[in-house]
Amino acid sequence: MTACGKKGPPLPPLVRLPQPPSELTATRRGETVDLQFSVPSVNADGSRPANVVRVDVYGFSGPDVKDEELFKRDPRVGSVTVKAPRDPNIVVEEDEPIADMEPPEGAGLEQGSKARVEETLTAASLVPLEVTKKQTRKKPASVEDVPRPLIGPPLQVPVRIYVAVSVNKHGQRGPMTPRKLVPLVPAPPPPPAPPTVTYDETTITVTWQAPSGIARMREPASGDILPSRLVGYVEPSIGYNVYDVPPATSAAAPSESPKTTAPAKPGETRLTSSPTAEPTYDDKRMSWGTERCYAVRTVEGIGELSIESAEAPSVCTTLVDTFPPAAPQGLQSVATAGAVSLIWQANGEKDLAGYIVLRGTTRDTLAPITPAPIQETAFKDEVASGSHFFYAVKAVDKAGNLSGPSNTEEATAR
């Protein structure tokens, strides 16, 4: 067999670019902007591990600029080092098992992990990013003499824009994340007071008081305003975000009463999917013996933007089960020869440990006759024929809480 062909020039080596960081969020709290994102673990072509050595985060005040202008000015607010592959060309494809992948190495965060960058806003943060101006010839404006609707001016809220990008081992940037905006209003809303935490058997209730003067924020600065709908002015909305925050670093003995700790630290989890307008939140994550810590922040919405208040002290409480089960219902007795048999309805508590049977010669002298809680909802008391007793049953849970007595049954063994 023969074939013909032509030898071409050598092809450049394949350079893999990482995917952009995912789940970028930018939250302003007071004069601090908290930026969080997930480090990429996959390349743009679906191969793994990602060819990434760091993630750069840029922040600049609006208006928005093109990517090339952003990289030229380089307004970076932080960088996160990432564990990188030893050889970016040794990868497993999208349809290959991840067990065959050579793990990334070196210092830095694991690929796929959460990263966090903070920026403190200063007076310089209000200055828009300086860009290269191009000389363009203005076109003459055409004015059409046609009726137009009366519209108000657009909402003018200065913003700061954030974006993140991955960088590979060759110093090349991958795709950028979508822009995230935070408002640059001069004064964030005031924080609420530390919350109050109470709980019952099923729910932890967090309540707080709105900060004073909250209703007067962001009102138009003009004088007397006639009753009307203002055109071009967007009324700010006020709500609250509730966070699950880490317990205090100093050890403390478990207590039923809440205690105030230091301000919330990284590692918190937001519990409210969106700001709540009511000053209360119900947490259904009951787990006895667990310490829960909560922080609440005021959220002011301005159009599609929002800003949180500064951190207020969080409040922690250890969940202690002090709630007794319900008293057993429907106790009945059946007297037989040399015995009295008892039966009652089962309790429905999930933490039920069992039942204690009580007996006495009078209603006022009932005492336990079972040394430990029994699991069954029936009990046979073997006694001498002709013995006359009163009976009752109590339920007990795993924390040792004892219920009130059931109805009392009177019986005489035959």
Q: Where are the chain's structural domains?
A: 22-127+157-183, 196-211+233-318, 332-412
Q: Determine what percent of the chain is predicted with pLDDT higher than 70.
A: 80
DSSP 98: G
Q: Is the pLDDT of residue 251 over 70?
A: no
Q: Vertex 216, ends 211 and 218: CA angle to 5°? A: 110
- List phi, psi (to 5°) of 197: -120, 125
- Tell me the residue type at 122: T
pLDDT of the residue at 261: 40
**Average pLDDT estimate for 132-155:** 54
Which long-range contacts link 61-66 to residues 24+ away (Cβ below 8 Å)?
61/125, 61/126, 61/127, 61/128, 61/129, 61/158, 61/159, 61/160, 61/161, 61/184, 62/128, 62/158, 62/159, 62/160, 62/161, 62/181, 63/128, 64/161, 64/179, 65/129, 65/131
Q: Is the pTM of this model over 0.75?
A: no
pLDDT of the residue at 121: 92
Beta bridge partners of 182: 160
Side-chain-facing half-sphere of 182: CA atoms under 13 Å = 29
Q: Is the pLDDT of residue 240 over 50?
A: yes
pLDDT band at 3 (very low <50, low <70, confident <90, very high): low
- Strand ranges in 76-137 using DSSP code E only, listed in sequence order: 76-81, 114-120
pLDDT tens digits for 194-230? 999 999 999 999 999 998 766 544 444 455 455 555 4
What architecture is domain 22-127+157-183? Sandwich (2.60)
**Average pLDDT estimate for 320-341:** 96
**Residues 161 and 59 sit within 8 Å (Cβ to Cβ):** yes
Q: What is the CATH number of domain 196-211+233-318?
A: 2.60.40
Q: Is the pLDDT of residue 4 over 90?
A: no
What architecture is domain 332-412? Sandwich (2.60)
**Residues 408 and 393 sit within 8 Å (Cβ to Cβ):** no
Q: Over the chain, what is the mean pLDDT?
A: 85
- Rounded CA gap, 239 and 366, in Å? 55
More confident residue, 156 or 81: 81
Q: Is the pLDDT of residue 162 over 80?
A: yes
Q: Is the pLDDT of residue 103 over 90?
A: yes
pLDDT band at 7 (very low <50, low <70, confident <90, very high): low
**Average pLDDT estimate for 109-133:** 89
Spell out the residues 6+ positions from residue 40 whose beta carbon is closer than 8 angstroms to its own. Answer: 18, 19, 20, 21, 22, 50, 52, 55, 111, 112, 166, 174
Asked whether the domain spanning 196-211+233-318 has the same topology as the one spanning 22-127+157-183, the reply is: yes
Token pair listed for 199: 């709980």
pLDDT tens digits for 272-311? 999 999 999 999 999 999 999 999 999 999 878 899 998 7
- Rounded CA gap, 341 and 409, in Å? 11
pLDDT of the residue at 205: 98
